Chains A and B, each alone.
Chain A
Amino acid sequence: MRRIVVPSLFFMALLGIWGIAAGSGRWSPVLFPSPWSVAEYLWGALLDGTLVEAIFVTMKRLLAGYAIGLLIGLPLGLLTSSSQMLEDTIGALALGLQTLPSVCWVPLALLWFGQTEGAMLFVVVMGTVWSVIIATDHGARTIPPIYARAARTMGSQGLHLWTRVMLPASLPFLVSGMKQGWAFAWRSLMAAEIYVTILTGFGLGQLLHYGRELQAMDQVIGAMAMIVIIGSLADRILFSPWERFLHRRWGTNVE
C-alpha cells in the first residue's frame, strides 16, 4: 500500500509544481506549456489517430531492429565467450563500438542509405548488437562450469549438451542481455527517428522532431512523455515475467 501511495503523491506533487510554475506567468506558455495543455494535446492526438499511428510505426521499427540485433548479437556473444581468438577480435570490436552513442551512427546511415527505413534499421541494429554481444559474452562466462561437467559425466554431449544444459543455464544472462539490448534499441530508434525524417511512416521520434519545427512545445513534451511511458511499460511487460520466473527457479534476484 505504501509502495503505491508514496510514489503517487510524489508524481502528483511534481505535476503540481509544474502546473504552478507554468501558471505563474514568468515564462512564455509557448516555451513552457502547462501540464493541462500537454494533456490536451495528447488527448487530441489520441482522438485523431496520430498518436496511435506513431506508436504503431515506432514499434514496428523497434521490433524489426531489435530482432535483427538479437539474432546477430546472441550467437556472436556465445562465440566470443567460447573462443579466446574471437574474444580478442570480435569481442574487442564490440567493446569499442559499444562506447559509440547510437546517434553517432546517423550521419553514416544517412550517407549510405539516404532518408529511408533502411537507414533507421541500420542505426537501431548498430545501437543494439554490440551491447547484446557484450552482455551475452559476460553472462556465458559466468555459467558455473560444474553444470557442463556434471552433464558430461551423465553422457550428455554435442547438441544435447547445448540445448539441455548450456541454453537453460544461460537463461539468466540471456534475459539480461535481451533487456540490455531492448534499452539500447529503444534509445537508438529515437535518435534515428529524430534525424531520419521520411514519409514512409511517422513515429514518435518524428512527432518530437516536427514538434520542434512547428514550435509546438506541447507536442514536444507530449511526445517525450509517451516515449517514457512506452519505454517503461515495455520493460515491465516484456521482461518482468521472465525475471519473476528466473527468481522462482534460481532463487536469486537476477539483474
Chain B
Amino acid sequence: MNMAEAQWQGVMPEHASGASSKLIVESVSKWFRTPRATVHALDSISMQVAAGEVVCLVGPSGCGKSTLLDIIAGLTKPDSGHVLADGHLVTGPGRQRLVVFQEPSLFPWLDVFGNVMFGLKLCPELTNDGRREIAHRFLGLVGLEKFERVHVHELSGGMKQRVALARALAADPQVLLMDEPFGALDAMTREHLYDDVQRIWRDAGKTIVFVTHNMREAVCLGDRVLLMSQAPGKIIQAFDIPLPRPRSIYDVELVGYAARIADALRGTVGGGVPE
C-alpha cells in the first residue's frame, strides 16, 4: 500500500452506506483529450458492488465500459470522483483487483504454465512448491492440464482466454474485473465457458465486475446487471437477476430478462441520443 492510500484510510470516515461494499465507485467522470477532439467518456458514474457479488456492466460499444474497468483497476486515473476498494482509495493497480482483458494479454515469452506462475510469483506469502501446485490445479480447473508446456501462440482463442482466466484466478484476487473476456470467441466455446465460469465462481466466491455488450451473457452471469448509455457513459438502469444458478443461456426466463434490458437500451438509444 502506498502513502496516499494509507492517508485516506485514516482520514476517510467509514463510508456510511458502503460499509459492506467491496467496491465503491463515486461520481467518476473521465474525459479523453486528443489533438482533434475531447471525448467525454464517463459522466458521473456511481455504483457499489457487495463482497461476493457478480455485477455485469452492459452497454453499446464505445460507451466507456473498458474505461470504467480501467479506473476501478487503478490503471487509469479519473478526472473527478474516486474509487474505493475495501474503503481504501484506489491510486494505482494492485493485485487484489485483477483484470482479465478483452484482447489477448498472455506473455508470448512464457509457456502456458509460466504465464500462470507469473502472477503467483508476485504472491510473497506462497512457497515455490505451493505456487506450482496452485498453477497445476487452476490449469486443471479450466481443462488445460495437458497444455502446460505449450507456447501461447499455439493455443486457440478460447484456450488463451482459459489460460488468462486461470492466471487471474490462481493469484486469488479478492476482485476480478473482466472486460468482455469472451467477446472474441465463437458461440459454442462461449456457452461452454459460461458453465465453467459459474462453477468456478460459486466455488471461489469472488467479487466480480463483468463487462459485456451481450445481454444474455450479462443475465446468465450477473447477480445484478447495470445498463450504461451511449457516450458519455452513464448508468441508466439497474436490473436484479434473481434466477437460480447454475443458469443456462437458453433458459426462457433468462431470455425474457435479456429482452427487457435490450428494450430499455433501445429506448434510450432511439429516444434522446442520436447516432
B141 is an interface residue with CB less than 8 A from chain A: no
Contact A155 to B101, CB < 8 A, known contacts A149-B75, A248-B151, A250-B108 = no
B254: which A residues are within 8 A, CB to CB? none
B119 is an interface residue with CB less than 8 A from chain A: yes
11 contacts between A and B (CB under 8 A): A146-B105, A149-B75, A149-B105, A152-B75, A152-B92, A153-B75, A153-B94, A154-B98, A155-B94, A250-B108, A251-B153
Contact between chains at A169 and B109 (CB < 8 Å):
yes
User: 7 smallest A-B Cβ distances: which pairs?
Assistant: A251-B153, A155-B95, A168-B109, A150-B105, A154-B119, A155-B122, A152-B93
Q: Count how many pairs of residues, one from A and one from B, have CB atoms less than 8 Å apart in the complex.
A: 65
B103 is an interface residue with CB less than 8 A from chain A: yes
| Pick from A152, A164, A252: contact of B118, CB under 8 Å | A164
B98: which A residues are within 8 A, CB to CB? 153-154
A149: which B residues are within 8 A, CB to CB? 75, 99, 101, 105
Closest to B118 in A: A154
Question: B86-121: which residues lie under 8 A (CB-CB) from chain A?
Answer: 92-95, 97-99, 101, 103-105, 107-110, 118-119
Cα A251 to Cα B154 with chains together (Å): 8
Cα A250 to Cα B107 with chains together (Å): 9
C-beta contact mask, B123-151 vs A, less than 8 Å → 1, else 0? 10000000000000000000000000001
Tell me what chain B mostly uses at the interface: helix, strand, loop, or mixed. loop
Closest to B124 in A: A155
Contact between chains at A249 and B109 (CB < 8 Å):
yes
Closest to B99 in A: A153
A67 is an interface residue with CB less than 8 A from chain B: no
| Pick from A147, A248, A252: contact of B107, CB under 8 Å | A147
Closest to A251 in B: B153
B73 is an interface residue with CB less than 8 A from chain A: yes
Cα A155 to Cα B118 with chains together (Å): 10
B211 is an interface residue with CB less than 8 A from chain A: no
C-beta contact mask, A134-175 vs B, less than 8 Å → 1, else 0? 000000000000110111111110001000110011010000
Closest to A150 in B: B105
| Pick from A154, A164, A251: contact of B108, CB under 8 Å | A251
Cα A150 to Cα B104 with chains together (Å): 10
Closest to B76 in A: A149
Contact between chains at B151 and A251 (CB < 8 Å):
yes
Contact between chains at A250 and B153 (CB < 8 Å):
yes
B75: which A residues are within 8 A, CB to CB? 149, 152-153
B42 is an interface residue with CB less than 8 A from chain A: no
Cα A234 to Cα B75 with chains together (Å): 44
Contact between chains at A147 and B105 (CB < 8 Å):
yes
Cα A248 to Cα B119 with chains together (Å): 23
Say how far A165's CB is from chain B's closest CB, in angstroms.
7
Contact A154 to B171, CB < 8 A, known contacts A147-B105, A164-B118, A249-B109 = yes
Say how far B131's CB is from chain A's closest CB, in angstroms.
13
Cα A151 to Cα B101 with chains together (Å): 12
Cα A154 to Cα B92 with chains together (Å): 12
Cα A145 to Cα B60 with chains together (Å): 24
Contact between chains at A249 and B122 (CB < 8 Å):
no
A164: which B residues are within 8 A, CB to CB? 118
Contact A151 to B151, CB < 8 A, known contacts A146-B105, A249-B109, A251-B108 = no
| Pick from B74, B110, B122: contact of A156, CB under 8 Å | B122
Contact between chains at B151 and A150 (CB < 8 Å):
no
Contact between chains at B105 and A249 (CB < 8 Å):
no
Contact between chains at B122 and A165 (CB < 8 Å):
no
Cα A168 to Cα B108 with chains together (Å): 9
